[in-house]
Amino acid sequence: MSSGRPPRHLLVVGNGMVGQRLVDELVAADVDQDWTITVVGEESRPAYDRVALSSWFDGRTELDLRLVSETLLDGDRVAYRLGHTVDRLDTENGVAHLDDGTELRYDEVVIATGSSPFVPPIPGHELPGTFVYRTLDDLEAIKAWAEADGRRSGIVVGGGLLGLEAANALLNLGLEVDVVEMAPFPMPQQLGEGGGRMLARWVESLGVRLHCGVTSDEFVAGDDGNVAALRLADGRELTTDLVVFSAGVRPRDQLARASGIEVGERGGIVVDDALRTPQPNVSAIGEVALHRGRVYGLVAPGYEMARAVARRLTGSDESSYEGSDLSTKLKLLGVDVACFGAANAAGEAVDEIVYHDPVNKIFRRLVLDVDTGALLGGALVGDISGYELLTAITLGQAVQPDDLPAYVLPASVRPPDEGALPDGAQLCSCNAVSVGTIREAIGDGCSTLGELKDSTCAGTSCGGCVPALTSLLKTELAASGIEVSKALCEHFDHSRQELFDLVRFHRYTTWADVLANHGRGNGCEICRPTVGSILASLSNGYILDGDQVTLQDTNDLHLANMQRDGTYSVVPRVPGGEITPDQLIALGQIAKDFDLYTKITGGQRIDLFGARLGDLPTIWQRVIDAGMESGHAYGKSLRTVKSCVGSTWCRYGVQDSVGMAILVEQRYRGLRSPHKIKMAVSGCTRECAEAQSKDVGVIATEHGWNLYVCGNGGRSPRHADLLAGDLTDEQLIRAIDRFLMFYIRTADRLQRTSSWFEELDGGLDHLRAVVFDDVLGIADELEDDMQRHIDTYECEWKATLDDPERLAHFVEFVNAPDAASTPTRVEVRGQRVPA
């Protein structure tokens, strides 16, 4: 329904994330359509998610990243003029002059032109092969250049947030990567020395070579005229085929300068608390706006500005912008990083509490006022648990707890209580969504994660807040007396644990039996593989026999991991990392004969990549003939048992770690479970096998073995807990038997031991009571279940090769069994990889 007055004309200059957020906010608030909206964007593409830009290299498309709905693009509510710029504003007459000569009249204009990458004026910076990292066009150009024949290495100039994102992108393109940073460590402004140096450990462990505390002198051209090397100020020369500049950004305020609008001494359009410029009816938001002397380089402040301007334009009283908190959490090269408040404060005015764990690469620093003890800020690397509550404390939104020092500990020691977060705490920094907004949405009827995302936009950008969002949802529903459903999916009213008990009690062996007696419909991508895993855990039969074949995902279906180009990997088991020279030679010959890429993994296995489906049986026959078997890299089961060389070779070793690792791996090989399982055995407390970051870790002592459980060195690192010490060989194996089967019985679908343990009622004491004191009276059952697995284990590939009917499954084209696709390959570092 119209307000009765003619609509006014709003011009938005810039169609980035912030400009589009303004459009979305205004469309949602302007129910009477008092405004007509025109958007002028320099890129030919509609706005897309720059925060998730690097995911384009992982397969996400422009459409996946797009932020403009089809309704707006195809409708008449907003007019988009993409591929154009506004050259000048006639602020006296309210006219915008476009690059194509068009003139657009406006009643209000909002400049949201963002920023542009800063390219340091290093000699040679314009050579072919040098790029910036800002737009999808940039990424396409980088990818095309990197994939040309013979290009193997890249350099990123700048070790900040975007620089590390760019480094990750180059890694994904198969390049060797160097990062050059002027500061002594990456992200110095955000993390300070301790956090920056810990982040450097993570970055280097992922294969990136960091060169910190050094400046760049000159880029050197090769014989072809393209960039070929970077000469550093310390005299070193880094060879390269590609350079990406990520040395900061500068506000794109050229329009303001051309239009006589005030800009700051170092750039940025000057705005007041209403985000207005001194010129009438002209506002600026996002990275181009200079508010109270500060330009914000993050998307969340831009979103807050967009919301404030939309409120002002629609007549709301809540239109003032007071500035933004720069606290942020993100994931760099898979590493969790966060900072809040005065994260980098130092000197006599502050105290600090620091948790520094170089083994698991965790750094947590809390900065306190030296006089009052008040929390001022902090930096978190490797474990960012409690970030939301700690940030709320620094902003005065939550009361500082008396046991604040305990909050410096990681989640593995002291899990935070997400339910205790105050309403004002910001849960989703990308979209500036508070805990109160989420609680209100739950109160209005949102009862699933998907409904919360749709209602609040929380968790829809980088995704880093999704775990906290899920936890808060469960807490709030439970507090409201609403039963939190544990149903596996719409086809089963039971949880994974309940289904496991039902299948075990009734001794079901088929999907049809389970579905007929306890489910409905035809199943889905959640319940079918879950039931398949349960059946495999309990019966240990061939997973592709009978109706179980219909339950498997792509990897289990072909007993191999599918790779990005549609080929498969072959991963033989190498128990304890021990392999004979003849077996090494056999694997090398197989790789040569089938043109496979070979890699030694972090779990002490040899992976062979690039096998075609039809070649898998032949390859595995040769592997088995060499005395090896399936490593089950494709299944949710035991992956590896890593070991050091132990007392056999090492002068520090006190036990035979290799022998124990082989015993453990051969005992639990093929054990299907809710998620993958990794183990390690170290021959002394020097811990060369990194056992304390594994689901099951064993460390030798002079008197026996220490058993650690529920560690995780993956996406959410967790230090394992000591379950028992100085165990004999027999005691150790019995304890692992009981622990593993208890986990398999009670864990949720796709739940690692680390997260399972954190939700286990009674924690470590209860787990010890179950495993050693048999407090539940199920110890004998757990041992019997494990013995049944051991007695019935069979290498799935050997079972396949021994049965012609099973072999028929490994044909690429059913109607042309002798035909096979030919994947496209390029040579990188002496091996063939997907083009």
- Binding-site annotation: residue ranges for siroheme: 688
Helical pair 779-792 and 527-539, crossing angle rounded to 10 deg: 90
On whether the CB atoms of residues 130 and 243 are closer than 8 A, the answer is yes
Structure-block tokens of residue 346 = 């130092």
> Rounded distance, CA 645 to CA 651, Å?
10
Task: List, as residue ranges, the binding site.
Answer: 644, 650, 684, 688
For the record, the structure tokens of 499 come out as: 């289904």
- What distances in angstroms separate CA 200 from CA 191, 252, 677, 692, one per listed residue? 11, 31, 28, 21
Task: Output the furthest CA–CA distance in the chain (Å, rounded).
Answer: 89
- Give how far Cα 447 sits from Cα of 162, 452, 486, 681, Å: 36, 7, 13, 44
Checking 447-450 for CB contacts under 8 A at 24+ apart, the result is: 447/473, 447/477, 447/482, 448/473, 449/473
- Please report which helix (H) or strand (E) contains residue 357, including its range: strand 350-357
Taking the C-alpha atoms of 474, 479, 483 and 485 in order, what is their torsion angle to the nearest 10 degrees?
0
Rounded to 5 degrees, φ, ψ at 484 are -85, 115
Sequence-distant (6+) residues with CB within 8 A of 652 are 683, 684, 686
Picking from 403, 414, 396, the residue whose alpha carbon sits closest to that of residue 340 is 396
Binding-site residues for [4Fe-4S] cluster, please?
644, 650, 684, 688
Cβ neighbours for 248, distance < 8 A, ≥ 6 positions apart: 117, 118, 158, 160
All residues at 6 or more sequence positions from 759 whose CB lies less than 8 Å from its CB, including other chains: none
Residue 155's alpha-carbon distances to 44, 173, 178, in angstroms, are 29, 13, 5
| The one-letter amino acid at 498 | E
AA identity, residue 760: L
**CB burial class (10 A; 0-12, 13-18, 19+) of residue 209?**
middle
What SS3 class is residue 419?
Answer: helix
Radius of gyration of the chain (CA): 29
**In residues, how long is the chain?**
835
Distance CA 573, CA 433 (A): 47
Which tokens hold the place of 621? 């026959």
Give the span between the Cα atoms of 426 and 398, in whole angstroms.
11
User: Contact, 571 vs 633, CB < 8 A?
Assistant: yes
Name the DSSP class of 581.
Answer: H
- 831-834 and 825-828 beta bridge pairing: antiparallel
Q: Distance between alpha carbon 758 and the CA centroid of its chain, in Å? A: 20
Instruction: Tell me the residue ranges of DSSP E strands in 342-489.
Output: 350-357, 362-369, 375-381, 426-428, 433-434
- Cα-Cα-Cα-Cα torsion 275, 280, 282, 287, nearest 10 degrees, comes to -40
DSSP 503-543: HHHHT--SHHHHHHHHB-TT--TTHHHHHHHHHHHHH---T
For residue 219, what are the contacts with CB-CB under 8 A and spacing of at least 6?
122, 123, 124, 125, 127, 130, 227, 229, 230, 231, 243
C-alpha 128/C-alpha 295 separation (Å) is 32
